[in-house]
Each structure stands twice: as structure tokens, then as C-alpha cells.
Amino acid sequence: MYQIGEALIGNGNEIAHIDLVIGDKNGPVGAAFVNNMSNLSLGHTPLLSVVRPNLMTKPATLIVPKVSVRCLDDANKIFGPAQTAVGRAVADAVEEGILPKEDAEDMVLIISVFIHPEASDYRKIYQYNYGATKLALRRAMEGYPSVNKVLAEKDRGAHPVMGFKVTRLWKPPYLQVALDLDNMQEMERIIDSLPDRERILIEAGTPLVKKFGVGIISKIRELKKDAFIIADLKTLDVGRVEVKMAADETADAVAISGLGTQESIEKAIHEAQKQGIYSILDMMNVDNFTEKLETLNLKPDIVLLHRNVDLETMKAERGEEQAAMTEWGNINQIKDILGDNGLVAVAGGIVPKKMDQALDSGADIIVVGRYIIGSRDVRHAAEDFLEKMPQDPDTMRLALDEDESI
């Protein structure tokens, strides 16, 4: 057996990122240790960690540079502050009981170290790498993170090096603003006026897509780089092709028409899964949409329901139970069919005074068009809905609270 640890500490060019593995000398880690020492690669020559020249650490630790060492200046950063930081962190970990002292002669460590070529502050290189190494060792020995921790955090975090955040729908409800427009300038005005809130989803409406093509999604992305963007394609046929086209333009979700055949719907959903984006099944004008949903072998991520007065009337005429019915149908039944992670969106002339009814019915996404895009004050119109929703999920979360609790 062996343990794996990781930690990132610091900022700027001196930022430290440590990956490490701990294991027995006679196990796979021991074999990898020897292989790394004897199979050298240009620019990534491994070195033993020392607390000072002529005094290597125990357990024996091999440092492997992640970034190519191309000159003596690069080598000095590795052989100086980084090597010392790792060596002292390992020694302190033994002294503090993070690593068992009685096993120090029997285990080995392999530690990958990141040193930016433009890092220049040796004090920070030492400090950040010392902290990151020690933290990674503790995490490895404690088995951090747990699977539950990963699942709880996977849709929340933003990687600092990426430069943008991938928005996921992990904490409903959300407000979907439907840009059913045919005017680029008006679209830009509305997007610029919307509040900067995680709970807002932006829909490239069918008129926009038809007039400007799926490239309109990339245009919206330029205006709101972190937005969750929905391509309302209402795909009926050749779903694979259309879904891929939208994904290539960085759409986060694609709307598929529920009027399509089972085969075409499932192909579109499959392509969305393949592309890593959400599939939305739009049930506009679909009769018996619960039956349609049940027949699908591949279920969508989201089902979009429209206000259905005819369904209410039909149920009443048949004398069927309507206790669980809403203006949009039986939302709870739809969720049962979709499973634990399925979401339901509702649309159809929704105004702020109907928000409570929609949310109380179990809706996860409220789709609004004219009330917002037709308003002279777009921001205020959107806030009429947002004020009935909770704060954005991480508004009150303190920095670094995503890491270990104490």
C-alpha cells in the first residue's frame, strides 16, 4: 500500500504545488524511487532532499522537478530553497508525528516540485514549498480528501491557473433569462445590464441562434466569460451534430425538443454526455410527457415544462387526482423519473408574483423571457425574481473554507 498527497500554497511566480507518494522501500514506491534515480531525463533530473549539504532526510526523499531545469538559475532554485524546504518539511513531519519515526528507515517518498521559471524570491520559494510539502504529507497520511469531500466540492471550486470558472448547477434554484431576440445590439445591452449573480443562467434563444448561428454562443461568452450558457436549439433531428456544434462554441447546456423520436432524443442526450454538457429536454407541445420520459433509456439532466392548462382540464374531466399537479404538471413525478440529480425547469409567462408558487412546486430553474428582456430596466426586472431566491451559494463562504475543517 502507499499514500498519495497534494497541496498548493502561495501566489505569484513563487507559488508551490506539491504532489507526493509515500510507500515502503520494498514495494512499488521503492521500485519507482530507484527507477527515477537511475533513469534520468533531460531537464528533470531527480535529487535527494537534504536538510543541509551531506545530510539527507529520513525517510529518504526523492525530489522530481515538474518544470524543465534549463539553466543554472533554474537549478539554483531547485537545489537551494526548494530542496531545503522539502528536506526540512519531511524532518519536521517525523518530529511532529505526521510520519511515524519508527518507520523512517523502511519508507521512501517521491515528491514532485513545481518551480516557475520566473520565480525570483528565494525566501518565498522556501516558505511556500515548505508549507505545501508538510501539508501534502499530512493529507497523505490522513487520507485527505475523502470521497464525500470530493463530491461535495467538485462543482464549487475554481482553479486559479485556469482564469475562468466552470459553472455547474449544484445548488438550485436558478433564474434562466431567455434571450428570445433577433438583434445583436439589444442582446449585448441586456447581458451587460444583468446582475452579476451565479443564480442567473443565460439562454441563447431560438431566434438568436437561427439568425446568427451557434456562433452567437461564443459572442455571449465574450461578454460573460463565467456565465452558464444554454443553447436553445430545440433539436429534432441530427441531434449529435447540433449538440457538438453548440459544445464547440462553449455552450454549457443544449435544449432538445421532446417532440423528436426516442432515437433522436437519446442520440442528442448521449452526445451531450460525451461533450460534458447538460442536456435539456423541452416538453413544449408534448402530450403525456411523463410517459415519454419514462420510455427513454438515457434520461436528460433537465426537463423543461411549460404551463399546461389543457393538462389540468383533461385531468379534471377524467376525475383524476390533482393534488400533486401544478400549472406545469406533476414536477415531483418528473423528478422521480429523472433520479437524484435531475432538475426541472418551468416556463410560461412567469412573473415575480408566481415565483413562490413555482419554487414551492419543486421547480429548480425559473425560465423568464419577456418580463426581463422587454423591460426598460433589465437589472431591476431580474432582481424582482432574484430577491425571492437565496443568496448565491458561496456568498458567505470564507476564503480557504473549502479545505480541511479543524
Strands (E), 192-248: 200-204, 228-235
Please give the full DSSP string across 232-268, using - where no structure is assigned. EEEE-S-HHHHHHHHHHTT-SEEEEETTS-HHHHHHH
Cβ(83)–Cβ(130) under 8 Å?
no
Q: What is the C-alpha to C-alpha distance for residues 384 and 353, in angstroms, rounded to an integer?
A: 9
Residue 68 C-beta-side C-alpha neighbours within 13 Å: 5
For residue 376, the 8-state DSSP code is S
DSSP-based three-state secondary structure for 325: coil
Asked if residue 180 belongs to a known ligand binding site, the reply is no
Q: Spell out a b/e string for 297-334, using b for 16 or more CB atoms within 10 Å of the CB, else e.
A: eebbbbbbbbbbeebbeebeeeeeeeeebbbbbbbeeb
Asked if residue 66 belongs to a known ligand binding site, the reply is yes
Beta strand 16-24 with 2-9 is: antiparallel
Asked if residue 77 belongs to a known ligand binding site, the reply is no
- Residues whose CB falls within 8 Å of the CB of residue 69, separated by 6 or more in sequence, listed in order: 43, 44, 45, 75, 78
Asked if residue 322 belongs to a known ligand binding site, the reply is no
Reference 277, options 325, 236, 309, 245; nearest CA is 245
Please confirm, yes or no, whether 17 is among the known catalytic residues.
yes
- Residues whose CB falls within 8 Å of the CB of residue 264, separated by 6 or more in sequence, listed in order: 235, 236, 237, 238, 239
Side chain identity, residue 386: L
- Residues whose CB falls within 8 Å of the CB of residue 2, separated by 6 or more in sequence, listed in order: 21, 22, 23, 24, 27, 28, 29
Q: How far is CA 96 from CA 13, 48, 129, 145, 405, in A?
A: 30, 22, 18, 21, 20
What's the CA angle centered on 171, arms 372 and 165, to 5 degrees? 80
Reference 378, options 160, 142, 164, 196; nearest CA is 196
Cβ(385)–Cβ(175) under 8 Å?
yes
Q: Of 17, 44, 116, 380, which residue is the catalytic one?
A: 17
Instruction: State the catalytic residues.
Output: 17
**Which positions make up the binding site for substrate?**
19, 48, 66, 83
**Which positions make up the binding site?**
19, 48, 66, 83
